[in-house]
Amino acid sequence: MHPNATTGTITRQPILVTGATGYVGGRLVPLLLSKGCWVRATARNPKRLENRPWSRHDNLEIVAMDALDLASVQRAVAGCDVVYYLIHSMIASQGGFADADRSAALNMAAAASFHGVGRIIYLGGLGDTDHPDLSKHLRSRHEVEVIFRESGVPTTCLRAAMILGAGSASFEMLRYLVDRLPVMITPRWVSTPCQPIAINDVLGYLHGCLESSETIGETFDIGGPEVRTYRDLISIYAEEAGLMRRVIIPVPVLTPKLSALWIHLITPVPAEIARPLAEGLSIPVVCRDNRIRDMVPLDLQLCRETVRIALDMRPQAEQDACTLRPETVVPPEWSACGDADYAGGTIFTMAFRIVLEADIETVWQTVDAIGGENGYYGNRLLWRTRGALDSLVGGPGLKTPRREPRILEANDRFHFWRVSQVDRPHRLVLESHIRAPGDALMVFQLTPGTGSTELVLESVFISRGVLGLCYWYGLYPAHQWVFRSMLKGIARQIGSRVYIGPETVPAAS
């Protein structure tokens, strides 16, 4: 249920969320569901939403909609009182993204008017419309605003600058550039003022406008509480990520096209996405009015706080975002199921499995005793050497013994490990506190079979900076050998016949 767009009364009409496969839409849908709303989510290919945890929610309907097909839009809009319009094209290589945006907006305006939609809520971009250097991408965003305002359908337009949070293309560009470049040669826009906003606050405004009749028919700038330069954001990110201070050298010769190609070379963000974003960085994007802060009061997050939440990588790496319960609420600043492949930073994984002729309880007892009298089931000298080296650089090493030799509980600490998760007898997650340029997890996953048990050992490394990349690739062959040997050692300890493995398998994380 949600307030009627014009009267404030409660209605069971669904809220249409377009662009539900996108960064903002994929986070808005579960928020609205958590507020008790009935939601109709659209995607050109609904199968792209099937793996989202919230796709199984009782109050959700998923429909196919191609924004460039008027009949498709008409079917999706029918029966809805509110439309969240979160569609925009960023694929510069197509050349006609402005035409596509225009056609899609005209289709939505026509459908919303025909079906008597009470309100459209549109998320666009900041930037003065009369600025001579306004990018084509931002001009297209403003044109969509005009189309909706002239449609006769009450419309609320929100204009945002850079959105901070894992999964945001702008944030991921920042992440990879800072992670991988101790020295940066940048365009002059590195000193351009901007007013970033946390994804949590974007969602707060989107939902708040639904409940505030004062916002109907208005256009608002939305931003965080700070005006920063991109140089500031680079420094903040480096500090929160525990990286050395980045050296920034602005030069006048880097055009947006060259910047986009450079970003594509250094980061996994595709050039066709990087280019429209880079083109928009050359002009100030700062809120000119803050009226919405009185209509939709929020405790706005500072840039540093948002970056810190987004970089809280261990709990993100410990879970599979696509297998969470539909009602699970996680910070929107974290990576989410369905985000782009490049979202979430550089996380390396390797996984091995072995299938043993033993029941799951027997295998679990051996896994549960790791780090005790039997050590790590092989390579004892290597483990001792690694512990000694860690102690030399101020790490915990192997000094702390296990509290209980046979059973591990959550938050137990031994050697350089902390027990992060225990789901007896299926899953054990150990979090490494060894001194390294990144964070590491060791995950044991047990699955029972008929007269057998599959044991998968996964190593997860959350790389930090260039040293993290060197660490992972430099030790990759050794880690391969160590983890295979560990599985063989577990089989020997049990005295079990090995049906399969150890063999490499795709990582689950």
What is the average pLDDT score of the chain? 90
The percent of residues in the chain predicted with pLDDT above 70, rounded, is 95
CA 370 – CA 388 distance, rounded (Å): 19
Position 5 confidence tier, pLDDT thresholds 50, 70, 90:
low
Pair (372, 311) in one structural domain: no
Q: Is the dihedral of CA 93, 95, 101, 103 positive or negative?
A: negative
231 assigned to some structural domain: yes
Handedness of CA 151, 157, 159, 164 (dihedral sign): negative
The answer to whether residue 337 is domain-embedded is: no
One domain, residues 375 and 304: no
101-152 pLDDT, tens digit each: 899 999 999 999 999 999 999 999 887 777 776 777 788 888 999 999 999 9
328 domain residue, yes or no: no
Least confident piece of the model among 209-223, 292-306, 314-328: 314-328
User: What Rg value do the Cα atoms of the chain yield, rounded?
Assistant: 26
Shared domain check, 403 and 307: no
Phi, psi of 439 (to 5 degrees): -110, 145
Domain boundaries, position 378: 347-504
CB within 8 Å of 208: residues ≥ 6 apart: 215, 295, 296, 298
Question: Is there a domain that residue 495 lies in?
Answer: yes
Let me know whether 51 and 96 are in one domain: yes
- Indicate whether 102 and 217 sit together in one domain: yes
Q: What is the pLDDT of residues 274-303, one digit of tens each?
A: 777 777 777 889 999 999 999 999 999 999
Rounded Cα–Cα distance for residues 178 and 190 (Å): 13
Higher pLDDT, 3 or 167: 167
Same domain membership, residue 296 and residue 217:
yes
Instruction: Give domain status of residue 368, yes or no.
Output: yes
| Domain end marker among 270, 302, 318 | 318
Residue 262 belongs to domain with CATH number: 3.40.50.720
Query: Where is pLDDT greater, at 509 or 86?
Result: 86
The answer to whether residue 238 sits within a structural domain is: yes
Mean pLDDT computed over 437-441: 91
In whole angstroms, give the CA distance from residue 182 to residue 234: 11
Q: Is residue 144 part of a domain?
A: yes
Asked if the model's pLDDT at residue 254 lies above 70, the reply is no
**What is the reported pLDDT for 6?**
53
Residue 22 pLDDT = 93
Q: Distance from first CA to last CA of the chain, Å, rounded? A: 35
- The reported pTM is 0.86
- Within 8 A by CB and 6+ apart from 236, the residues are 228, 303, 304, 307
Number of domains forming the structure of the chain = 2
CATH number at 376 reads 3.30.530.20
Tell me whether residue 334 is in a domain: no
